[in-house]
Amino acid sequence: MATEATKITETISWTDITEGCKVEASGNSKLFNTGEWRVDTPLFIAEKCTQCLLCAPVCPDSSIPVNNYKRADFDLDHCKGCGICAKVCPAGAIEMKMGER
């Protein structure tokens, strides 16, 4: 039986790693914390936000969670800090903290 996707970590030995690193699961990109790559970090200023939701669809990493037509704070486990959301925000509700994790 192939190793479970959650067990493929940086401590796995060569005898346990899956063939060609194949992943025996679906919908598992959440397990990969792309947020580790971040150099600049967006800061969500909730009181300025008008909930226009222009930011959420342009996020390349689906790191702006939306529930009941309202966005919540950033998912920093996956946000790579690209800053597109801050560029599109018409309300000044997203501030990029340059050089901050």
d(CA 16, CA 9): 11
Nearest residue to 43 (alpha-carbon basis) of 81, 91, 70, 71? 81
**13 binds other proteins per the rule CB under 8 A:** yes
d(CA 77, CA 62): 11
Return the structure tokens found at 39: 């150099």
**31 binds other proteins per the rule CB under 8 A:** no
d(CA 2, CA 80): 31
Binding residue (CB under 8 A) for other proteins from 4, 7, 17, 101 = 17
Nearest distance from residue 32's CB to other proteins, in Å?
9
**6 binds other proteins per the rule CB under 8 A:** no
Q: Which range of residues in 19-27, 48-56, 66-74, 80-88 is near other proteins by CB under 8 A? A: 19-27
Q: For residue 2, what is the DSSP state?
A: P
**10 binds other proteins per the rule CB under 8 A:** yes
Binding interface with other proteins (CB under 8 A): 2, 8, 10, 12-15, 17, 19-28
